[in-house]
Structure 1
Amino acid sequence: MPPTLRERTVLPPQDPADLVRFARGLSDAEPAARAKLIGPDGSQIDIPDDLYAVLRDVVSALSQGMAISIAPHNTMLTTQEAADLLNISRPTLVRLLADGEIPHTMRGRHRRVLLRDILDYTERTRTERRTTLDEMAADTEDDGLYEATIEARPTR
């Protein structure tokens, strides 16, 4: 039977010196043909490159004093948890839910949001912002505004 996936948060250690040395060693190390996980009993398992990159990021973040949360994509969040992830207020999130920007479900009188829907919204808005900025830069270039100079006025 596979282990149950659960959400958990890993806090940085009180004395991060060992972790800092480990993180420095990871960043300085030459990439091997294939990373391996070696258990206490000596058993070895090859680690896929993507997972190795995630582990490096986790160690780096912990060594810098940041906490790391690990959660499956199907984790249900409260509106406050979702708002915290998006770095917006809870009322703003509720408005996004009401407008249909982010899917949600109702549990009684309480809204619940899937973590994957929050991550999808984040990626979708990031892509929309990037596209809009690219269009604005192209319009500015087409209008020749990059060549326009503004004379600086003395401030004093």
Structure 2
Amino acid sequence: MTTALRHHTLLPPGGSQRDLAHAAEALHGHTRLVGPDGTEIKLPGEVFAALREVVEALSNGLAITIAPHTTQLTTQQAADILNVSRPTLVKLLEGGEIPFEMRGRHRRVRLAELVDYQERARVRRRSALDELAREAAEDGSYDAVDQLPRTR
């Protein structure tokens, strides 16, 4: 029997954030959960990190959306995660930016490869912005515009 994957949004509790803040603080350095009956559960590192992020966000008054993903994605699922069109994703795949597998006539993308690509793209963007800012500071154009030009 298969279970349907669905996303779920958790809202911060309406009462005091003090208990959540205490829980977030207590999670730093502990990798075991103790249930109400005293049973201890050792958490894998990935689960522990996710739980800590959830509790910290909720303690700061933020909502959390939990959305399970399969680890093998269709091109449409991968494009949706990257927020690009499917043809754009296919260009990235065919250009070697993101590894993929062929299943018959269909391309499949591993979620881990997609996350790696997102991080590489983020680093490239940050590096390019840093370089632009450095060049602008060197040639004096960084301070050249005192205000935005009128467009109307």
Shorter-chain TM-score above 0.5: yes
Structure 2 residue identity aligned to 1:67 = T
Find 2:8's aligned residue among 11, 33, 54.
11
Find 1:105's aligned residue among 101, 107, 128.
101
Aligned residue pair count: 144
Q: Distance in 2 between matches of 1:152 and 1:80?
A: 39
Name 1:148's counterpart in structure 2.
Answer: 144
Give the 5 Å matches for 1:112-123.
112-123=108-119
Q: Is the 8 A contact 2:74 2:107 kept in 1?
A: yes
Give the 5 Å matches for 1:6-155.
8-12=5-9, 20-21=13-14, 24=17, 25-27=19-21, 31-32=25-26, 34-35=29-30, 36-45=32-41, 51-59=47-55, 60=57, 66-71=64-69, 75-150=71-146
Q: Is the 8 A contact 1:140 1:146 kept in 2?
A: yes
TM-score under structure 1 length normalisation: 0.70
The share of aligned pairs that are identical, in percent, is 44
Question: Please, what is the CA RMSD of the aligned residues?
Answer: 3.6
The CA deviation string for residues 96-139 of structure 1, in whole angstroms up to 9 with x for no partner, is 11111111111111100000110111000100000000000000
TM-score under structure 2 length normalisation: 0.72
Residues 1:155 and 1:98: Cα distance change in structure 2 (over 3 Å):
closer
Q: Is the 8 A contact 1:7 1:71 kept in 2?
A: no
Cα drift, residue 55 of structure 1: 1.1
Q: Distance in 2 between matches of 1:140 and 1:92?
A: 31
Structure 1: runs of 5 or more not aligned = 1-5
Residues 1:150 and 1:42: Cα distance change in structure 2 (over 3 Å):
closer
Structure 2: runs of 5 or more not aligned = none
